[in-house]
Amino acid sequence: MRPAIAAIILAAGLGKRMHSTKAKVLHEVLGRPMVSYVVAVAEKIAGEAVIVVVGHQAQAVRSAVSQTVAARYALQERQMGTGHAVQCALPLLPAGCGQVLVLCGDTPLLTVGTLQRLVADQVASGRDATLVAVNLENPTGYGRVLLNAQSRVCGIVEEADASASQRAIRLINSGIYCLRREFLAEMLPRLSTDNAQQEFYLTDIIRLGYESGKTIGVSPGADPEEILGVNTPQDLARVEALMARRNTISA
């Protein structure tokens, strides 16, 4: 029997590069807050076990999400990084949940098919952690996926912390994960803020897991457009154009 799935959606940030007083995930794509697309996809996989981490303009984000799904909400009062955000959500995971999807609230082009493949890959392989990674011609702005000599995933380095050779890596972390609940509970308390942003990076659980002998892999094949995150008004315009084209094709 497939383990029960929960989804944690990170939606607490303001998004300074949007140059707006509105929380980033509330910016609209074709008339809908971008987070509403993500929670709709998550619900198709996790049912009622969707947890949204809120922070900036928490009530407004709750209101927007509630128009789409009946989610649970974890409050991240201080934005101390993605690892801290997931830690805030852990107590809300249902008792029967064996696998946890972690998604970003600013990736409205994400599809159900990609998440279905990710979960199936994670469960069939028996891994502790599986992440969606894609090769990009221009990986600027994304964390790079590090592989060891045997091509096994051994870590993720954020761009701000990457060396010149690491920045040349084109395999990027999408920020989309499927993780065993026990793995998350074991690794999150081991995170530190020893990095350029002085935050608890969720990405560090991949290195910690590798060093602890956990099984970690990549779920390849996602369309690079699907994992586009919105960080600037230019990103928003690009994502909206892609969404409009997708809707035209499917009409």
Q: Are 29 and 51 in contact (CB under 8 A)?
A: no
- Active-site annotation holder among 2, 17, 167, 245: 17
Q: Which residues contact 135 (CB under 8 A, 6 or more apart)?
A: 170, 171, 172, 224
Quote the tokens at residue 165: 């050779």
Q: Report the alpha-carbon distance of residue 10 to residue 7 in Å, rounded.
A: 10
Q: Report the alpha-carbon distance of residue 251 to residue 246 in Å, rounded.
A: 9
How many other CB atoms sit within 10 Å of the CB of residue 247? 10
Residue 17 annotated to the active site: yes
Quote the tokens at residue 5: 């799935």
Q: Report the alpha-carbon distance of residue 217 to residue 85 in Å, rounded.
A: 23
Q: Are 228 and 172 in contact (CB under 8 A)?
A: no
What does 14-26 look like in DSSP terms, one character per residue?
Answer: --GGG-SSS-GGG
The residues annotated with a catalytic role in the active site are 17
